[in-house]
Amino acid sequence: MPDFETRNPARPAEVVGRYAGTTAEGLERALAAAARAQASWRRIAGVERALALGRFLDAVAARSGDIARAITREQGKPLAEARSETAKAIAEGRAMAAFVATDSGEVRPSARAGVRNMVLRRPRGVIGAITPWNFPILTPMRKIAPAVAFGNAIVLKPSEFAPAAAQLVVDAARGVLPDDLVQIVLGGAEVGGALVSHAGVAGVTFTGSVATGKRVYAAAAAHLAEVSLELGGKNAAVVHDAPDLGACLDQVMLAACLCAGQRCTAISRVIVRRALHDDTVAGLAERAAAAKLGDGLDPATTMGPLTTAHQLAHVRELVEAGVAAGARVVTGGRPVEVAGCEGGYFHAPTVLDRVDAGNRVAREEIFGPVISVIAYDTLDEAFSILNGVGYGLTSSLFSQDAGVIRRFVDESENGMIHVNHGTIPDNHMPFGGIKDSGVGAYSVGPSAAHFHTTEHSVYLG
């Protein structure tokens, strides 16, 4: 992989990082060193590994200011968001350390007298991880923390658009975790493909698009590596009844425009009961128009740019396709120029009304600050719209009706289901999706063990 640069998406002429791409020989060295480190690390007791993970997280926290600034400069999100992302990444890691320190396996009933049955888990080996550019520390840490805690080594390839935060995290491991246990390789698709195709990788964890996820899945399958894929989403909030509609819309807008909408868990569809439709559209438009776009290092900025020119073009194309198919722009609807940020990849927060459920903008992941509003008359219609997409990551319902809530919990075809709040997950809860949104064990929480370890039935006679 050739050397490459990163640029400030608020001012693309500004180079903020220069990196040496990892060669094929460098990848081989990294994997071999990781395997050697893991051979010793796997023998360390789980409680000791959890304590070491805690010290590593302390080292990451000590660098949190530098990490947040690196995120903003390469990814574009406001500095306050970058700080929150860093804090959440550390908090999730601490929750994982606590789980590993207290998990004791399982004792199962025996079918035979005088025999004791147990289920034990062992470290899987070397984990290969590929992470995207939208959360430059949170997603890498969701892979590093459980890998280390469960006794594995990890080789991480962060996005070539925003690798600085991941480099700082790996640097924090030096002198705290065993040498070579946490490795980083740099580059684009060529490096990622070589990593996940390597026979020395026992588990492949990937976060990104469905299209790339399918290629990763096929490459891992060629050598029967375990996989954990966190893919896209076309998430909806169903607004059925809301005593405080303003508070409801505050949460919807936050979930839609955090990270400029570049979140797999972003709300991009609002499915609203017709009686609340007009007030919902007006309230969303008011909130969208109030956003202050700019460089993420400016304290006045509430929403930064999209991260790449390609992503800006994708959002623009999908909005235009939606409008051509009958959607009406209430506010936004186009890229914008921001004073002092020449050439920045900014797209106005956008509310689209009169969106048909079959419209591309209501079915395809947009990964930008765009909300499609769809009205419904019956609950059956609402749930049909909710579940009528290929994705199944997360969803939200706003209602005080116990029957509606019960049905939503039973019928929402999503891995994460929220009632009366947005789509931000807790630090200790399983994170993942179904349908086109994911394959394999969820990350975060106890379910991470199913990817990072192998399972063994033990019979003691």
Q: What is the CATH number of domain 4-231+437-460?
A: 3.40.605.10
Q: What is residue 74's predicted lDDT score, i.e. its pLDDT? A: 98
Q: Which residues contact 429 (CB under 8 A, 6 or more apart)?
A: 416, 444, 445
**pLDDT at residue 446, rounded to an integer:** 87
The CA distance from 287 to 77, in Å, is 18
**Domain 235-429 belongs to what architecture?**
3-Layer(aba) Sandwich (3.40)
Which of 333, 19, 276 shows the shortest CA–CA distance to 161? 19
Q: Which residues of 227-255 are buried (b: 16+ CB within 10 A; e: fewer)?
A: bbbbbbbbbbbbbbebeebeebbebbbbb
Residue 110 has a pLDDT of 93
Closest to 432 (Cα-Cα) out of 417, 420, 412, 419: 417
Question: Which stretches of the chain score pLDDT less than 70?
Answer: 1, 104
pLDDT, position 222: 97
Question: What pLDDT, on a 0 to 100 scale, did the predictor assign at position 71?
Answer: 98
The reported pLDDT for the residue numbered 128 is 98
**Partner residues linked to 156 by β-bridges:** 129, 184
Q: Which of 248, 257, 259, 264 is catalytic?
A: 264
Q: Which residues, in sequence order, are CB contacts of 137 under 8 Å at separation 6+?
A: 67, 71, 85, 86, 89, 165, 166, 169
* Contact between 56 and 177 (Cβ < 8 Å): yes
- So what's the pLDDT on residue 102? 84
Q: Are strands 267-273 and 328-331 parallel, antiparallel or unpaired?
A: unpaired
Q: What is the phi/psi pair of residue 103, to 5°? A: -70, 135
Catalytic-role residue among 160, 230, 364, 365: 230
- Torsional sign, CA 296, 301, 303, 308: negative
Residue 422's pLDDT is what?
Answer: 87
Residue-level pLDDT at 1 = 63
Question: How many CB atoms within 10 Å of residue 337?
Answer: 10
Distance CA 123, CA 368 (A): 38
In the chain, what are the domain boundaries?
4-231+437-460, 235-429
* Residue 342 a catalytic site member: no
The pLDDT value recorded for residue 420 is: 95
Residue 103 confidence (pLDDT): 77
Say which amino acid occupies 273: R
48 is annotated as an active-site residue: no
Give dist(CA 77, CA 257) in Å, integer: 11
- CA 164 – CA 184 distance, rounded (Å): 11
- What pLDDT is attached to residue 54? 97
Give me the residues paired with residue 455 across strands: 121
pLDDT value at residue 2:
82
Which are the contacts of 37, defined by CB distance < 8 A and separation ≥ 6?
153, 178, 179, 180, 181
Instruction: Say if CB 130 and CB 208 are below 8 A apart.
Output: yes
